[in-house]
Amino acid sequence: MLDLPRRRLDLGTRVGVMGIVNRTPDSFYDRGATFAFDTALAHARRLVAEGADIVDVGGIKGGPGAAVGVAEEIDRVVPFVAALREVEPDVLVSVDTFRAPVADAALAAGADIVNDVTGLHDPEVLDVVVARDAGYVAMHHGGEPRTRPFRRHYVPDLTTAVVEHCRALTGRAIAAGVPPTRLIVDPGHDFQKTTYHSLEISRRLPELTALGFPVLVALSNKDFIGETLATPLERRVDGSLAAAVFSILRGAHLVRVHEVQRTADVVRMTEALLGWRDPAVAVRGLE
């Protein structure tokens, strides 16, 4: 269950879809296609129409790239959040940031969730989450923000490290005053991880779901998919969809994706096969 002031998502027998909007000129996937404000807003509305439960907006590329100051990140994110909230009042909005001032401004403008991909690199992010009655994504990062892994080794193993890190983060959040029903955990595929690491954590997702919080997987078009299949960026969608289905079967509750419509179809079909939902239409052989 994800229970936020604006909306409740019952994730026991359905999977939530988080659509991505990159308000950056150098994003790894769309290479700035949604950097322009009007384009980004139109894209977000299309994601909602295609079935996104959450729209996740970020103003800084997750990997190495040009330095972006706090004021510039706020300028990229906050007006967008305010505009999206005006035209899509019911959708949940998350802000992909690791900076407390950006999180605070975005939540004040109408965002619901802080998607902190650094695991509280800035501890004041948690203070903002508490003060603004927001949701929080506790993600395993394992290193400095915006850096790539180099021969990372985890003791005793990656999955144990991920689970313990997420256990500690959610424990800090609850102790600070965040209700458990507003917390999400994310194993952080590709972040400070090799391809073998990301494959391992996918197989061992039940160990993370055992913490009792909704599990978000951000798999879409990532390098571990490209390396596994030896495919370039523009040919990773099918691999991403396969990884999403596998993750759902291993217990994931939310998927963060670029291609919402295709993912929503895959997710809803998976739900039907699991017996979680009825067909939208069922007249074959009956008329």
Catalytic residue among 222, 236, 250, 268: 222
Q: Is 61 a catalytic residue?
A: no
Catalytic residue among 23, 193, 256, 268: 256
Q: Is 222 a catalytic residue?
A: yes
Three-class secondary structure assignment of the chain:
CEECCCCEECCCCCCEEEEEEECCCCCCCCCCCCCCHHHHHHHHHHHHHHCCCEEEEECCCCCCCCCCCHHHHHHHHHHHHHHHHHHCCCCEEEEECCCHHHHHHHHHHCCCEEEECCCCCCCHHHHHHHHCCCEEEEECCCCCCCCCCCCCCCCCCHHHHHHHHHHHHHHHHHHHCCCHHHEEEECCCCCCCCHHHHHHHHHCHHHHHCCCCCEEECCCCCHHHHHHHCCCHHHCHHHHHHHHHHHHHCCCCEEEECCHHHHHHHHHHHHHHCCCCCCCCCCCCCC
Catalytic residues: 222, 256
